[in-house]
Structure 1
């Protein structure tokens, strides 16, 4: 990922692989919520490096199809490599605000941790509504970065860290809690909303996923975290025993059978 405030980020493909491993439980929940079966056409919007495309392809085989779309060429290339030998599975480059698909052309759609990064979440949900067939459903999973809690260490440093990440590092940091409202505004019916809360008990593993060290350093350089407090907070966390958790909202939304979007 790009250098920010002079602090380099991790490589994206490696980072997404770590996220997939840490979030395997909620990802299974998302896959189950999609109710995939042979013959369905599935869109994975913001597919990243394609970690989950093979599982979706297996679920709709032999007559269904899966399309992964991502805006970043490196992600498209890696995802394409992963699915090169899978029949009826394709990866394309595309913008979530203007999905390169005809209207009412897919039965299922997944948006996993991608709405947090887009410029206009409402426009993305409008596109998901457009491309989904009447009666089809989407499953969206998004974090709430303001919900991050860690122990041990200063609670004020934890809150300052969350404020910095939410104000500076993530475009839509609390979009998880906004998913039902976004879906309703786009015309979807809300079938279900649940919360997953991945728990980390090892500082080194959590640091790689949550960016505790690198974002604390960025916050200090940006003048939003007190240097002494931030450094002491990291020292306390790394000394352990350690625990961290944050919420991931998982929403299941259905396009009404009539397919008419409310005005």
Structure 2
């Protein structure tokens, strides 16, 4: 599923830690609010990562519900299983989005957060979501369009180059603009579209953009010199020191139902 971006133990732990920062905690709460899960519902989390959303959804659906998380990364699943070990209404399985190992009409709800942009065959993944949803079942899908990025930097060309190289870390960095057509082909009706912005006016290890900048630096290490990477990152630090820091990125929220 994550054809260009895989998770070993270290990167899995770094990603989990980033999910515990305020920006992503708030996004997770927003996701739960939009899902509005009912007691007893069965839910599939596609690309569940370290299981933080699964754990929260399990609390909402209660003992009569079942939250199933799938992810291609074994280190992620190990963390998820450990987190949810005392929640009997959770289950985890190694799988990818294009070949879900479940019977037809198995779930009331499917959720996919920041996953489809990493999937090689999004059309097939959406067909799988349609297949495993019960009639009238619903799905919540959130992905980033990296063209929406606004990041204050003194060297515009350096920033554009860094982001251009970063965009290669996923399969489709502009996926959200294409999703309505893909939903139609998969016979998933779009009920609601919204934008979830992440905005930072500070640059600290508590901010999403700090984690993103660190990830970009790691990604650029095979392409740019260490001097170029350090200069790019240091400019963001300087902007923060001068109270001139600004970052904004849009994630696009799609709520769909099975036709």
Normalised by the length of structure 1, the TM-score is: 0.84
1:235 paired to 2:239: no
Partner Cα separation in structure 2 for residue 89 and residue 50 of structure 1: 10
1:208 paired to 2:211: yes
Q: How does 1:18-33 map to 2 (within 5 A)?
A: 18-21=18-21, 22-33=23-34
Partner Cα separation in structure 1 for residue 234 and residue 77 of structure 2: 39
For 1:192, the equivalent position in structure 2 comes to: 192
Structure 2: any 5+ residue segments left out of the alignment? none
For 1:261, the equivalent position in structure 2 comes to: none
For 1:220, the equivalent position in structure 2 comes to: 224
Partner Cα separation in structure 2 for residue 170 and residue 219 of structure 1: 16
Q: Displacement, 1:184?
A: 1.6
The total of aligned residue pairs comes to 244
Partner Cα separation in structure 2 for residue 9 and residue 86 of structure 1: 23
SS across alignment from 2:138: strand
1:145–1:165 Cα contact (<8 Å) kept:
no
Measured on the aligned residues, the alpha-carbon RMSD in Å equals: 2.3
Partner Cα separation in structure 2 for residue 234 and residue 67 of structure 1: 39
1:247 paired to 2:250: yes
Q: How does 1:135-214 map to 2 (within 5 A)?
A: 135-166=136-167, 168-205=168-205, 206-210=209-213, 211-214=215-218
2:153–2:159 Cα contact (<8 Å) kept:
no
1:146–1:163 Cα contact (<8 Å) kept:
no
- Judged with a 3 Å threshold, the aligned counterparts in structure 2 of structure 1 residues 181 and 148 are, in CA distance, closer, same or farther, namely same
Q: Displacement, 1:216?
A: 4.5
- Judged with a 3 Å threshold, the aligned counterparts in structure 2 of structure 1 residues 116 and 127 are, in CA distance, closer, same or farther, namely same
For 1:259, the equivalent position in structure 2 comes to: none
- Judged with a 3 Å threshold, the aligned counterparts in structure 2 of structure 1 residues 204 and 10 are, in CA distance, closer, same or farther, namely farther
Q: Displacement, 1:114?
A: 1.1
- Judged with a 3 Å threshold, the aligned counterparts in structure 2 of structure 1 residues 102 and 135 are, in CA distance, closer, same or farther, namely same
1:14 paired to 2:14: yes
1:146–1:162 Cα contact (<8 Å) kept:
no
Partner Cα separation in structure 2 for residue 201 and residue 218 of structure 1: 29
Partner Cα separation in structure 2 for residue 95 and residue 121 of structure 1: 11
